[in-house]
Chain A
Amino acid sequence: MATETGRALDTSAARTEILRRIRAANGGTSDAARAAEQWAAIERDYRRTATRSREEILELLEDRLRDYDANVVRAPEADVPAAVARMLRERGRRKLLIPPGLKAAWLPEGFEFAEDHGGSPAELDRFEGVITGSTVAIALTGSVILQNVAGEGRRAVSLVPDYHLCLVRVEDVVETVPEALDRIKGSATLPTTFFAGPSATADIEMTRIKGVHGPRFLDIILIS
């Protein structure tokens, strides 16, 4: 059985053949230098920088997120715990999951916060919600980007619980998609999730329905 398995999964002959077919089709072999030179020649005349003022960018982000049915509030750093407490009370959530490294100063008294220690999906499912920070937010598309770093955690943490409260610092908000990718290119190989609103589907008669498998409820606090 073991040798049979080994044989079935040795795909080096297929690899050789596919690369041979590609080179025959392309009339030769490519290499790093040629690929790099021609990649650099690709025209990129689309917008790659912001055109709005900082305040306009923040307003655009809020507008886009609300368009996706997320709750958005702004709070200065010192008022974050109060804003978190208000949102959790409104949502009726008490028992929350937090990723390691989430800033303790952001968390209010009177709630139960449990740090993720790599529990099973079923364990994650028992929490009423999760609070995370974020890496970048894109105003033009209303997207927030999470990576596996302190305060944002592994991907399952912001996925399994039904409610996600996400904290976004205003200095992490950019206007365009290229600016956002530019910011995370140094950590490109970390597990990365973009979300734009709560989970949704339009598979039934193209009607947008909120909340399928990801968190059905999303709140955002913009920290200024």
Chain B
Amino acid sequence: MSSADSVLDPKTSPTFPIAAKTSLRDTQLRKNVRHATEVIQNKRARVVGEMPDWQQLRESGKQIREHAMAHLDYHLEEFERNCTRAGGKVHWARDGEEAKRIVTELVKQHASPENPEVIKIKSMTTEEIHLNIALEAAGIKAYETDLAELIIQLGHDQPSHIVVPALHKNRQQIREIFQREMNLPELGDKPQDLADAARRFLREKFLRVNTAVSGANFLIAETGGVCIVESEGNGRMCLTLPDTLITVAGIDKILPRYQDLEVMLQLLPRSATGERMNPYNSIWTGVHEGDGPRNFHVVLMDNARTSVLADDEGRQTLNCIRCAACQNACPVYRQTGGHAYGSVYAGPIGAILTPQLQQLHHAQTLPYASSLCGACYEVCPVKINIPEVLIHLRNKVVKQKGPLNPEALAMKTVGAIFKSERRFRAAQRLGRVAETPLVGKDGWIGWLPGMLGGWTQVRDLREMPKETFRDWWEKRGKRGN
């Protein structure tokens, strides 16, 4: 896997078409991704199908998220006030660098000075800012405790899916990683054996390490509470046993009121893992005497989310609750897997979120990593119109390149040709002559020169017909013969 040893950073990753070519050659990866996405999709379809009020839940989910974003300043201040009153400490970070500095400083304050370590719950937000690298640079050991994240960490790999980050690995590959990294040469490859090995490997860390780092699924403004949903119980371990808990959350994670959980806790598990409810949900508010951490910190991170909010058409991206249903449904993701997107956010949501979080300075090819089929929109539990945002971003990418970029020039030229019948006919004649050396025996063009090559990079082109419709129509005469 090409991206195995590199970090998924949109600033340095290859463009999607180049990275996708590498992924498409990895038949094992494609097999694993196809299997996993098929299983989740089927499970999701079954449990969504049993909800007669699914469309009403989606509509409410959408409206709740829109409302949360429209009053984000108020709700964040509410959250801060209520969390602080309950004994939590709230910090604010304009970007990933600030968030990493705050977390590192907090860990240094609370973890044991001679051997600073933290246990971590799977958090795409901390993946987004590459927190583990910053912790390591500060001499802090971070143990990922989610099974998939453990596989990724021990395998020096990168997440390829928002909910099931190691879905590109099969059991034999996971066994090899565990055999090597946990020093278990006899380990079998039954999923149960592998999960048992992870349990033993992490149990001692849960009981010993006194500082934990988490993300958040929801921040509840009304109560100052935080909600995390999970399956394995590693989350509960990290949230409950250590003395200190540091939660890193994007400012978009806010929910206005506790009651809004009644919608989100129905939409999220069915969409994400195809379960009626996650095995575990945890909700806690600040610090509770005699139950859980004595020190609780929340880092509220912007990291360009406010720039997404400022874009009228793009801002619906922030409504995302990270269920990954769009990834599982996407015909492009299902072929390439997640690494090709060059970001921890892969699939359709990644194709709109990543370029916007990069303020379109990077990842400009991602809005094109879609056939606009609309499957993502259909499964989205909060009705984000991803195809609409993709087109909007394509437009922005083209505009950003200025009036002299090839695509804008080509469109302008085509416009001029279409305006005049004479020019249109001349262009058709010219095209038939010019294509002759490029057409294969089968009547298909597989390669176009120069800038036109962008079109044939991912598809073949039919040769132009020998006769146009207009020519044929004129030849057939008045009586139709």
A window 171-224: CB within 8 A of B:
177-178, 180-182, 185, 188-207, 209, 211-215
The answer to whether B174 touches A204, judged by C-beta atoms less than 8 angstroms apart, is yes
Interface string of B344-361 (1 = CB under 8 A from A): 000000000000000000
The answer to whether B60 touches A199, judged by C-beta atoms less than 8 angstroms apart, is no
Closest residue on chain B to residue A45 by CB atoms: B56
A window 1-48: CB within 8 A of B:
5, 8-9, 11-12, 14-15, 17-19, 21-26, 29-32, 34-35, 38-39, 42-48
The answer to whether B240 touches A206, judged by C-beta atoms less than 8 angstroms apart, is no
The answer to whether A205 touches B256, judged by C-beta atoms less than 8 angstroms apart, is no
Nearest CB on B from A115, distance (A): 14
Interface string of B206-237 (1 = CB under 8 A from A): 11000000000000100111000001111011
The answer to whether B281 touches A194, judged by C-beta atoms less than 8 angstroms apart, is yes
B window 88-142: CB within 8 A of A:
91-94, 98, 101-102, 105-106, 108-109
One of B56, B106, B223 near A46 (C-beta < 8 A): B56
- The distance in angstroms between the C-alpha atoms of A113 and B166, with both chains bound, is 41
Nearest CB on B from A29, distance (A): 6
B window 166-211: CB within 8 A of A:
166-167, 170-171, 174, 191-192, 194-195, 198-199, 202-203, 206-207
Closest residue on chain B to residue A215 by CB atoms: B233
The answer to whether A43 touches B63, judged by C-beta atoms less than 8 angstroms apart, is yes
Is there a chain A Cβ closer than 8 Å to B455's Cβ?
Answer: no
The answer to whether B265 touches A156, judged by C-beta atoms less than 8 angstroms apart, is no
Closest residue on chain B to residue A204 by CB atoms: B191
The answer to whether B279 touches A195, judged by C-beta atoms less than 8 angstroms apart, is yes
Which residues of the other chain, A, contact B207 by a CB distance below 8 angstroms?
Answer: 120-122, 125
Which residues of the other chain, B, contact A71 by a CB distance below 8 angstroms?
Answer: none
Nearest CB on B from A47, distance (A): 5
One of B72, B91, B265 near A11 (C-beta < 8 A): B91
Is there a chain B Cβ closer than 8 Å to A140's Cβ?
Answer: yes
Is there a chain B Cβ closer than 8 Å to A118's Cβ?
Answer: yes
B window 77-94: CB within 8 A of A:
77, 86, 91-94
- The distance in angstroms between the C-alpha atoms of A35 and B284, with both chains bound, is 24
The answer to whether B40 touches A203, judged by C-beta atoms less than 8 angstroms apart, is no
Is there a chain A Cβ closer than 8 Å to B275's Cβ?
Answer: yes
Nearest CB on A from B93, distance (A): 6
Which residues of the other chain, B, contact A189 by a CB distance below 8 angstroms?
Answer: 86, 223-225, 285-286
- The distance in angstroms between the C-alpha atoms of A110 and B392, with both chains bound, is 70
The answer to whether B191 touches A199, judged by C-beta atoms less than 8 angstroms apart, is no
Nearest CB on A from B153, distance (A): 13
- The distance in angstroms between the C-alpha atoms of A152 and B125, with both chains bound, is 32
The answer to whether A213 touches B237, judged by C-beta atoms less than 8 angstroms apart, is yes
Is there a chain A Cβ closer than 8 Å to B424's Cβ?
Answer: no
The answer to whether B277 touches A143, judged by C-beta atoms less than 8 angstroms apart, is yes
Is there a chain B Cβ closer than 8 Å to A97's Cβ?
Answer: no
The answer to whether A39 touches B256, judged by C-beta atoms less than 8 angstroms apart, is yes
The answer to whether B232 touches A25, judged by C-beta atoms less than 8 angstroms apart, is no
Which residues of the other chain, B, contact A203 by a CB distance below 8 angstroms?
Answer: 146-148, 151, 164, 166-167, 232
Give the size of the chain B interface in residues (CB under 8 angstroms).
104
Nearest CB on A from B67, distance (A): 6
The answer to whether B170 touches A35, judged by C-beta atoms less than 8 angstroms apart, is no
Looking at B17-25, B302-310, B434-442, B459-467, the stretch in contact with chain A turns out to be B302-310
Closest residue on chain A to residue B54 by CB atoms: A46
Which residues of the other chain, A, contact B257 by a CB distance below 8 angstroms?
Answer: 39
Is there a chain B Cβ closer than 8 Å to A83's Cβ?
Answer: no
The answer to whether A195 touches B102, judged by C-beta atoms less than 8 angstroms apart, is no
Closest residue on chain B to residue A178 by CB atoms: B262
- The distance in angstroms between the C-alpha atoms of A171 and B36, with both chains bound, is 40
The answer to whether B310 touches A121, judged by C-beta atoms less than 8 angstroms apart, is no
Is there a chain A Cβ closer than 8 Å to B39's Cβ?
Answer: yes
The answer to whether A209 touches B290, judged by C-beta atoms less than 8 angstroms apart, is no
Which residues of the other chain, A, contact B234 by a CB distance below 8 angstroms?
Answer: 212-213
Which residues of the other chain, B, contact A178 by a CB distance below 8 angstroms?
Answer: 259, 262
Is there a chain A Cβ closer than 8 Å to B288's Cβ?
Answer: yes
A window 129-155: CB within 8 A of B:
138, 140-143, 148, 154-155
B window 273-299: CB within 8 A of A:
273, 275-286, 288, 290-292
Which residues of the other chain, A, contact B397 by a CB distance below 8 angstroms?
Answer: none
- The distance in angstroms between the C-alpha atoms of A159 and B91, with both chains bound, is 29
- Most chain A Cβ neighbours within 10 Å, of B60, B72, B76, B206: B72
- The distance in angstroms between the C-alpha atoms of A182 and B199, with both chains bound, is 36
Query: Beyond A154-B290, A177-B265, A189-B225, is A22–B236 a contact (Cβ under 8 Å)?
Result: no
- The distance in angstroms between the C-alpha atoms of A202 and B324, with both chains bound, is 15
Closest residue on chain B to residue A213 by CB atoms: B233
One of A21, A35, A205 near B191 (C-beta < 8 A): A205
Is there a chain A Cβ closer than 8 Å to B241's Cβ?
Answer: yes
Which residues of the other chain, B, contact A197 by a CB distance below 8 angstroms?
Answer: 279
Which residues of the other chain, A, contact B281 by a CB distance below 8 angstroms?
Answer: 143, 192-194
- The distance in angstroms between the C-alpha atoms of A53 and B463, with both chains bound, is 67
A window 29-79: CB within 8 A of B:
29-32, 34-35, 38-39, 42-48, 64, 68
Which residues of the other chain, B, contact A148 by a CB distance below 8 angstroms?
Answer: 288, 291
Which residues of the other chain, B, contact A42 by a CB distance below 8 angstroms?
Answer: 60, 63-64, 67
The answer to whether A14 touches B310, judged by C-beta atoms less than 8 angstroms apart, is no
Q: What would be 8 A-B contacts, judged by CB atoms less than 8 Å apart?
A: A18-B306, A29-B73, A30-B70, A156-B292, A159-B236, A190-B288, A193-B236, A196-B277
Not counting A35-B74, A118-B290, A204-B194, a sample of 14 additional A-B residue pairs whose C-beta atoms are within 8 angstroms of each other reads A8-B101, A9-B91, A11-B92, A25-B306, A64-B276, A120-B207, A121-B206, A122-B207, A177-B265, A191-B285, A204-B174, A205-B171, A206-B39, A214-B236
The 5 closest A-B pairs by CB, nearest first: A214-B233, A21-B306, A141-B277, A213-B233, A25-B310
